[in-house]
Amino acid sequence: MGQDIKKLLKQESEMTTRKMSNGHKKRFENRLDNEFPQFKNQFSFLKIAASIALILSIAFVSFKYFNTSKVEIVEDKETPNKIKSMADISPDLKKIEDYYLANINYQISKIKITDTNKELLEVYFSELAVLQKEYDELNAKLGEDEINDETIDKLIENLQMRVLLLKRLKSKLNKIENLNLKQNEPSIT
């Protein structure tokens, strides 16, 4: 079973040194052409088709890439990303803002306007209007400048001050109502 490698290599080299007869290569090529003539034409056609497809795909991809990047630059210049409220910054700040605004609106909706408390309400509502104006200015500043913690803190403090102001108003209205009830009670003696 075992064969000597040296002998095999010598036999191999003797085989390769044998020369082919004259015209063998030409006869072989002619025979291939006679047997498979369609392959030669198909391959040249496929090469041309592949080249055209490659050129078209490169042109299409290039057009899409360069066309898209130009549109993006134009859109960025025309429509800057403006921040209108804390809700545009993060979902957590949106929750905080919504909580305070809902609380403020709820407190206002519970206030009953009467002839006796009308003047007091006007004073408090004018204060609320000033705070609302400051809040709007801070929101505008937030949209113009970079987002910073100081502006966000001022916005939250503004909302807290409005809630506190409404609680004070409610407390005063309750005191006025209690005084009116006490004055209107018949005295028992």
Greatest CA span in the chain, whole angstroms?
148
Cα four-point dihedral sign 20, 21, 23, 24: negative
- Note the pLDDT of residue 82: 62
- Note the pLDDT of residue 37: 58
Higher pLDDT, 38 or 75: 38
Residues 5-35: pLDDT tens digits? 888 777 777 666 666 778 888 888 888 878 7
**Neighbouring residues of 165: CB distance < 8 A, sequence distance ≥ 6:** 124, 127, 128, 131
CB burial readout 147-185, b (16+ within 10 A) else e: eeeebbebbbebbeebbebbeebeeebeeeeeeeeeeee
Query: pLDDT grade, residue 174 (50/70/90)?
Result: confident
Q: Which amino acid is at 98?
A: D
Among 80, 76, 93, 81, smallest CA distance to 148 is for 93
Question: Helix, strand, or coil here: 176?
Answer: helix
Query: pLDDT grade, residue 70 (50/70/90)?
Result: very low
Flag the least confident range among 60-69, 112-121, 171-180. 60-69
- pLDDT reading at 148 higher than 60: yes
Flag the least confident range among 78-87, 124-133, 170-179. 78-87
Average pLDDT of the chain is: 76
Q: Which two tokens stand for residue 109?
A: 């909706």
